[in-house]
Structure 1
Amino acid sequence: MARIKYIYDTETCRYERAKITKSDVTLNFLGFLAVALVMALSLVLAYNTYFETPVEAQLKKENNELKKHYSALETEMEEVDEVIAALAERDNNIYRKIYEAEPLSPTVLQAGSGGVDLYRDILEEGLQNEELVVGTKRKIDKLKKQARIVNQSFDEIMKLAKNNDELLKAIPAIQPVHNPNLTQLVSGFGNRINPFHKARVMHEGIDFAATRGSEVYATGNGKIKMVKINSELETGYGNYIEIDHGFGYISKYAHLGKVNLKVGDVVTRGMVIGQVGSSGGSTAPHVHYEIIKDGVKLDPINYIMNGVNNHDYSKLIELASRENQSFD
C-alpha cells in the first residue's frame, strides 16, 4: 500500500493531502540513479585499485617472467661479448704476432650492424616496448657479426699455422698440470698480494694449485735449458725447470717437488718433466708457471690455446683476473 503524504497549508491552517506529479517521480528516480551510479563507479574504481582480475594477474605474472628472461638474456649477451673480446685480444696480441699477420682493426670489430631500416618490420608492429626489442636485436646482431669476424680471423691464422708446423709445436700452448675442471688456476699474472710480506708486488706468472706429487707437463716442444735444485731452506723459485722452445720462447716451472730431467734433454708437449711440490718461497703445493719471449715475461694465460674451448678459456680468464694473494 502506497504511503499517503500530507503537507501543512499555512493559509488554511490545515494539513492537505500532497499531490505527487510525474515530474516529482521522474526527478526522484533520476536522483536515485545518479547516487547508485556514483556508488557503483566508486566500488569499481576501488576494486580495480586494490584487486586484480584473473586476466590482469596472469598478464602480470607473464610480464615478471619476461623481465627475468630478459635479465638473463642481458647477462648472457654480456658474457658472450666478454668471450669475443677475450678471443679478439688473444687473436691480435698472440696469434697474429706469432705468425706476423696484420692485426685486426678495432673499428672493424666494433662496427655497427645496420641502421633503422634493418629493424623497420619491428618498428611497424607498434610494440609497446619496441625500443627494448630493437635494442636487444641490435646487440645480438652485433655479437653475431663480431663472432663471424673473429672466426674468419681464426681461419686465416690456421692457414698460417699449417705453414709453420715447427713453430706451432714449440709454442707453450697447454696447461702445465691436469686441470679438467679449470679450478686449479689460483693466481694470475700482474700485481698480486705477496703471501709473506702482504704487499702488492708484480706476480710474473700464474699459479696452478695441485696435490703434492701431481705430474707437471712441458707445455711445448723444446730442450731443457736449466734445472735448479734448491735446499729446503732456500726461498725464491725453489726447485725449477726452464725449457727453451726456440723462436725466442722459454717456459719456467717453479716450486717443484721432484725433477725428472736434466739439462739438454729434449721434451715434447705433454711430456712429464717433474712433480708438484712446495719448494722455495711457497705457501702450498703448486706450480708457478712463466712464459718468456725474447727476454720479456708475458702473461701465460694468453698462450693456453690447446685443450680448451671458448667457454673454458673465458673461465680461465676470469680466474686469472682476480686480484688475490699469490702462492709464492
Structure 2
Amino acid sequence: MRDKRIQLIYFSLGGSEAKQISLGWKKIAGMIGITLSVVFVLIIFIIGLFTDMFHNRQVAHLSKANSQLRDFLQDVTFRLENLQTQVQVIEKNDEDMRIFVDLPQIDSDMRKFGRGGHASPSTTPISAVTGENREEAVKIQRVIDNLEKRVSFARLSMEEISGKYQENQFKFKHTPSVRPIPNARVTSRFEYRPDPFTEQPRFHEGWDFSAPRGTNVLATADGKVVETRLRYLPNLGYGRYIIVDHGYGVKTRYAHLEKVLVKEGEVITRYTVIGKVGDTGRSTAPHLHYEVLKDDRQVDPKDFILDE
C-alpha cells in the first residue's frame, strides 16, 4: 500500500504530447493538509471580518442609542424644571388657602423635602443606565422622588383645607351676621339707657329695631328652633318670642312678636321668615327686641351684624 502511487496524465488539446505526474501518498496527504489549512485560515478570516462588521454596527447602534438617551435625559431634565416651578406655584397657592381657612402654616423645609413614604417604582432601574448618562439619570430619579413626595404632601394639605373650608362654611352659615329686619332703624343698643317704664337707668341686653306691626322678622343664621313662647302676660317679659340655637354655643332671641311662624324643633336657614313684629310683653310700641347669646349670656349684637 505504501508503494502505491497515483499517476496523473495531462496533455494539451492543441498538441499530441502527453505528460504524467506520479504522486505518492505522502505528497497527497501534504497537499490535502495544506488545502485544509488554507480553507481553515480563510474561514477564520471571514468569521473575523463579519465579527468586526457586526461589532462596528453594534457600536454604531449603541452610540446612536446613547446619544438619543442623552438627548432624552436633557429633555426630561428641562421638563422636570418646569414641573418644579409648577409645584412651587401649587405650594404657594396652598399656603394662601391655609391662611384663608385659618389653618397653621407649614414649615418650608417640610414642604421642600415632602412627607416620607415609598416612591413609585421606576420602570427603568438606574442600574440599567451606564456610562456618562448614569449620573444624570440618578439626579433625575432624585428629583422625581422629591416631586412625588411634595405633590403627595400638597394633596394631603388640600384635603385638610377642603375639610376646614367645609367646616368654616357650615360655621359661617350658622353664625348670626345680618339684621333680623333689613333697613330697620335701631332705637336702642346694647348699653345702659333709661327704662321706658320707670325712667331709671337699666342695662338693655340687646338691640331694638323699630318697624311697623306685622313686619317680617328674619332668622339671622341657620339653626334649630329650640324654644317658642306664645302665651304671655301684658307689660311683662319678652311677650311672644323665639329662640334659635345656631350651634357653637350661639343662640338668638326674637321678642315682642305679634305672631310666631315656626315650631320648636324646626330646622331653619338664614333669611327664613320666623315671625311678625308686634308689641307683646313689656313693650311700649311695635318693635323687635333682638338678642345674641353666647354660652347663654347676652353679648352685643353689633359683633354679629356684618352690615352695621
TM-score by length of 2: 0.46
Higher relative contact order (CA 8 A, sep 6+): 1
Tell which structure's C-alpha radius of gyration is larger: 2
